[in-house]
Amino acid sequence: DQQVKQNSPSLSVQEGRISILNCDYTNSMFDYFLWYKKYPAEGPTFLISISSIKDKNEDGRFTVFLNKSAKHLSLHIVPSQPGDSAVYFCAGQQGGSEKLVFGKGTKLTVNP
């Protein structure tokens, strides 16, 4: 039972354009959603999060949108930079637990 799904294994965009990474979930009990970025041979790095009571959170070039009725969230990166090339993981978290339920990731490539 995959509670968090990232249906696009890969995404390629041009430098300066917008990158949109999508994530769907099935568990209505998630209180918190997080995005992590991972480079090869490194551990995931926290990027941005959003509480389930909000619909948008912004941090610099990164914005996460949450649509609870559709059980869908997306990460927007504007403008995209070559250094953003990495695998991006979406994760859900329930209150009272440290457990993160991850999607399988989307590999983003930003071309110069």
Residue 31 binds to other proteins (criterion: CB under 8 A): yes
Comparing CB distances to other proteins, the nearer of 14 and 26 is 26
Beta strands in the chain (DSSP E): 4-5, 10-14, 19-25, 32-38, 45-51, 56-59, 62-67, 72-77, 86-93, 100-102, 106-111
User: Least separation, in Å, of the C-beta of 102 and other proteins?
Assistant: 4
Residue 60 binds to other proteins (criterion: CB under 8 A): no
Q: How many residues bind other proteins (CB under 8 A)?
A: 25
Interacting residue ranges for other proteins, rule: CB under 8 A: 31-32, 34, 36, 41-46, 49, 89, 91, 93, 95-105
